[in-house]
Chains A and B, each alone.
Chain A
Amino acid sequence: MKIKFLSVVIITILTASFVYPISGKDSFVTFIEYTEEGKIKELAEIQFRYDVDINSYIDVTFHPSAFVRMESGIPLSPESVRLRKELESLNNLLKIAREDLDDYVRDIDTLRKRLLENDDPLIEARFRQKLKERSNFIQKLLVALEPVVGEARLEKALGVSDSLYSGVVSLLAEHINDVQKKLEAETSSLIEHSEHTLRVWCIHSSHGKKPNAIHLNNYDNLEAGSLQIVDKVTLALTEEEDRHLRESVRFHEDLRKLVVDIGDKDSELRQAFSDLTDQFFKDLRDFRDFFGTQTLQELLDEIEKEIGSLDSSEEVNALKGALSDLKEKLKEIFNLIQKNNSLVRNLFVERPDPLTLVTLLSPELITEVEKLKDVLSQKANLDRINEISERIKNFRIVFKKVSTLLSKGLSDKINEFIEVKFQTWIATFSNLDIVLSKYEIFSDYKKVFKGLLERGLFVATISDEVGDIGDLMPKDTLEVAMSKASPTVIDIPRTNRQESDIYNLYVRIYHKGSITLSKEYSFRIKKYGTYSRWTGNLIFAKGEWQNSFQPATSVSWILHHRSRPKEKNGKTEGEGKTKGGGGVLGNVINLGIGLNSVVFSTEGEIEYGLGIAITFFNDILQVGYGFNFQREGSRGYFFIGASLFDLLNPTRSNSD
């Protein structure tokens, strides 16, 4: 008896250690997506969310053998261990066949081409190696299959010229299914006595509605609901689509008003700047004219006249020196005027940000004006002139006259001018400040815009949240013995659904009232193939009769085509992992074409236009050309637009 007991312990330990390394390969629940077109995909573990077609239904199959392996505490039979090992080996073969055969052919072709161009021993070695690897794998595949599927079926499968050995791989997949069934049968007898039970339920979450449980055949007493196939290309709107479109149009109309208002205010400010520029230039012109054409010229003429009457060369030179100094001083004054002139011109022509202009450039301008004032207030070399006057008596009168003219006439004139003009400029800058203060209104716009964004995001948040509600088990759920875990179906076409709805499938296994396993699988609804959708936008349209683009609210009906994920070597993308959607073109650019209707509101009148639009990135951007039928003469308009609402609200905008 003792020996027998020991053998049992050893066998149990060996069995357990033998089994654990191969765990984690197969899944307790598998899914197959079907549509009206037939079988679409087979799925194993879904870690997050899988996209399925809006008209699809999903077969759900439970695999007790996987459960037995997963911490169930159910002892394994030697036959189940053997079958599992066989399954493991066959699955490995299938994986290579689906994932690597194509690569082998491609590599061999490439290497052969390179060899024909250049006899490189290294390339030849790689070519031979690849050929050998591929050959060995296929031989292994045939050896594994021949005894189980029979020579006749293998012969038939090889009767097709196919580098991927699809026929043979299909036989392998079939055989794997057979072994899997044997394993299921073997393990179900183990489960029968294990007292494990199963509860399965599915929660449907739809935007704007309370999440609700849907019927799962064999697992609840809920009503199945009636079949409702969704028409993918239609002008009709569902209740939710209608609400979304109205919200979007309202949002874009408010955005349009904001854009128009900002545009108007901006024009007003630019006009104010333009007026100020004109005023400033006028002041500068006055300044130049004042000195350039009147007093200064008269003074110079008089001085030259006096100098002309002198006869002492020494005195003449001295006086000429004084005159030269005066001219230099005047030149400096003109340079300063010119400098200020170009400074101001640059400021206004380049139209910098008004606030920056005041902050950075006003002090500089004022400094320049101060300098100008200093220079103008100097008594141009009067000391030197007086010195000469003392030395040369004969010319004292002349110098006196000159000095009087300079100190009184010129200086007074300059002071008078500066006092008047400088005050004018100060006033000008004050006006500029007042105008600039109007720019503060833009901070109000920021608030309004922020409010709009928050409004859009609020809708988006609601949309996003709906999928996460409801792990609550409905009371109609039945508790089923694990040994009776029959397949069921998530019958999506029997639910009132729309794009982006979420179906969460909950699977719970109990043992004597305690939960031993809890799993959740999530599916999101998408429209695959050709489908239509409505979208609201803010567009900028430029009519043939207009010089600039005008904002307008529009509504578009757009046709899209979304491809399913491509299959590689017979294996569906997403199998065993979380993936959905199509390729780059299908998912990211998501080109659409359709009709666009625009409302033009100009000068209190409302006009309608209809055009063709091409959209990009899930209708976020669109361009098109249309006709304004309420105009006479030229009616065509080009437009470019965006749906900020959809951008903020990706769940509702069919984002991938």
Chain B
Amino acid sequence: MLILPKDNKEKARVLFGQAIADKYTITMLIFGDGQGEDQIASKADVRAGALASVRRVVWIRDVSILTEDEIRLYREGRDDFVVCTLNLDDEPVVRLDRDKANSFLALERAFLKAEAG
């Protein structure tokens, strides 16, 4: 799991860019911090282990590093969407709100859907 730093926006931005650019990976983005996102990130990391070479979890603790366009793309502009999975072409496939995201089953399904294309 890649945890982006909160105290260094520039570095976080660079790391985020690299993570998105990383080829042949299925990326699950976790947004926010302080409202149970750590638990969600931890669960997502467990599910990423089921296909460790392909699945990647990126926890963006400070969402202010994202551009407006990115927020629209990944979260559809909604604060309650805390998880977004990207397929191999880095297109958002599944978005989960805070309640749903706190489930291994939902996270697993989000990964699977992104893997299916």
When distances are taken between beta carbons in the complex, the residues of chain A under 8 Å from B53 are: 108-109, 112
CB-contact partner of B51 in A108, A116, A142, under 8 A: A108
Bound-complex Cα distance A224 to B89 (A)? 68
- Specify which of A116, A127, A155 is in contact with B104 (CB 8 Å cutoff): A155
Contact (Cβ within 8 A) B109 A165: no
Contact yes or no, B54 A131, CB < 8 A: yes
Contact of B117 among A124, A132, A155 (CB under 8 A): A132
Evaluate whether A158 and B108 lie within 8 angstroms (CB atoms) in the complex, with A108-B54, A112-B53, A163-B51 already known. Answer: yes
Total number of residue pairs linking A and B with CB closer than 8 Å:
68
- In residues 32-91 of chain B, which contact A (Cβ within 8 Å)? 43, 45-54, 88
Contacts of B117 in A (CB 8 A): 128, 132
Binary per-residue interface labels of chain A (630-651) against chain B in the complex, 1 for a CB within 8 Å, 0 otherwise:
0000000000000000000000
| Bound complex: CA A128 to CA B103 (Å) | 26
Q: Is the CB of A154 within 8 A of B105?
A: yes
Query: Which residues of the other chain, B, contact A162 by a CB distance below 8 angstroms?
Result: 49-50
Given known contacts A132-B116, A135-B112, is B50 in contact with A155 (CB within 8 Å)? Answer: no
In the complex, the answer to whether B105 meets A151 with C-beta atoms within 8 Å is yes
CA–CA, A134 and B53, complex, Å:
14
Nearest A-chain residue to B48, judged by Cβ: A161
Min CB–CB distance B107 → chain A (angstroms): 8
When distances are taken between beta carbons in the complex, the residues of chain A under 8 Å from B26 are 131
Contact B104 A163 (CB under 8 A): no
The answer, yes or no, to whether A357 is at the interface (CB within 8 Å) is: no
| Nearest-neighbor residue (CB-CB) of B50 within chain A | A163
Instruction: Give the dominant DSSP class at B's interface.
Output: helix
Please measure, in the bound complex, the distance between the C-alpha atom of A154 and the C-alpha atom of B108, giving whole angstroms: 11
Please report the C-alpha to C-alpha distance between residue A158 and residue B112 in the assembled complex, in whole angstroms: 13
Tell me if B11 is interfacial: C-beta within 8 Å of chain A: no
Give Cα A116–Cα B54 distance, bound, in whole angstroms: 12
CB closest chain-A residue, reference B106: A155
Interface size class of B (residues with CB under 8 A): 20 to 34
List residues of chain A with CB within 8 A of the CB of B51: 105, 108, 134, 163
Could you say which residues of chain B place their CB within 8 Å of the CB of A161? 45-50
Nearest to A165 among chain B residues (CB) is B50
Asked whether any CB of chain B lies closer than 8 Å to the CB of A115, the reply is: yes
Contact (Cβ within 8 A) A131 B104: no
- Are B24 and A127 within 8 A (Cβ)? yes
* Chain A residue with the shortest CB-CB distance to B46: A161
Determine if A132 and B105 form an interchain contact, defined as CB atoms under 8 angstroms apart.
Answer: no
A552 smallest CB distance to B (angstroms): 59
Interface size class of A (residues with CB under 8 A): 20 to 34
A610 CA / B1 CA spacing, docked (Å): 61
In B12-45, which residues have CB < 8 Å from any A CB? 23-24, 26, 43, 45
| Minimum distance in angstroms from B47 CB to a CB of chain A | 7
Q: Which of A108-146 contact B (CB under 8 A)?
A: 108-109, 112, 115-116, 124, 127-128, 131-132, 134-136, 138-139, 142, 146
CB distance B46 to A139 under 8 Å?
A: no
Is A159 on the interface with B (CB-CB < 8 A)?
yes
* CA distance in complex: A105, B49 (Å): 11
Q: A134-B115, A165-B50 are in contact. Are A115 and B23 (CB under 8 A)?
A: yes
Known contacts A159-B104, A161-B46: A116-B115 contact under CB 8 Å: no
The answer on a CB contact under 8 Å between B115 and A158 is: no
- Which residues in A have their C-beta under 8 angstroms from that of B113? 135, 139
Are the C-beta atoms of B54 and A142 separated by less than 8 Å?
Answer: no
- Asked if A448 lies at the interface with its beta carbon under 8 angstroms from chain B, I say no
A139 near B116 with CB under 8 A, answer yes
CB distance from A117 to the nearest CB of B (A): 11
- Chain B residues lying within 8 Å of A128, measured Cβ to Cβ, are 88, 117
Contacts of A441 in B (CB 8 A): none
CA distance A124 to B89 in the complex (A): 12
Do A112 and B49 touch across chains, with their CB atoms under 8 A apart? Answer: no
A109–B26 alpha-carbon span in the complex (Å) = 13
Closest to A160 in B: B46
The answer to whether A136 and B105 have CB atoms under 8 Å apart is no
Q: Are A139 and B105 in touch, CB under 8 angstroms?
A: no
A158 contacts B104, C-beta separation under 8 Å: yes
Q: How far is the CB of A137 from chain B (nearest CB, A)?
A: 9
A151 and B106 CA atoms in complex are apart in Å by 10
Nearest chain A CB to B36's CB is how many angstroms away? Answer: 16
Say whether B109 contacts A139, CB under 8 Å: yes
Q: Which residue from B23, B48, B109 sits with its C-beta under 8 Å from A116?
A: B23
Cα-based distance from A128 to B115 in the complex (angstroms): 8
Chain B residue contacts of A158, Cβ below 8 A? 46-47, 104-105, 108
State the CA gap A131–B112 with chains docked (Å): 9
Q: Give the complex CA separation of A155 and B115 in angstroms.
A: 20
Chain B residue with Cβ nearest A154: B105
Bound: A160/B46 CA distance, A:
6
Known contacts A142-B109, A158-B104, A161-B46, then 11 further A-B pairs from the complex at CB < 8 Å, ordered by chain A residue: A108-B51, A108-B54, A115-B23, A131-B116, A132-B115, A139-B109, A155-B103, A155-B105, A158-B47, A159-B46, A160-B46
Interface of A toward B, CB cutoff 8 Å: 105, 108-109, 112, 115-116, 124, 127-128, 131-132, 134-136, 138-139, 142, 146, 151, 154-155, 158-163, 165
For this complex, 19 residue pairs linking A to B, each with C-beta atoms less than 8 Å apart, are: A105-B51, A108-B51, A124-B24, A128-B117, A131-B26, A131-B54, A131-B115, A135-B112, A139-B109, A142-B105, A142-B109, A155-B105, A158-B104, A159-B46, A159-B104, A161-B46, A161-B47, A161-B48, A163-B51
- Chain B residues engaging chain A, CB cutoff 8 angstroms: 23-24, 26, 43, 45-54, 88, 103-105, 108-109, 112-113, 115-117
Closest CB pairs A-B (n = 6): A161-B49, A158-B104, A135-B115, A135-B116, A135-B112, A109-B53
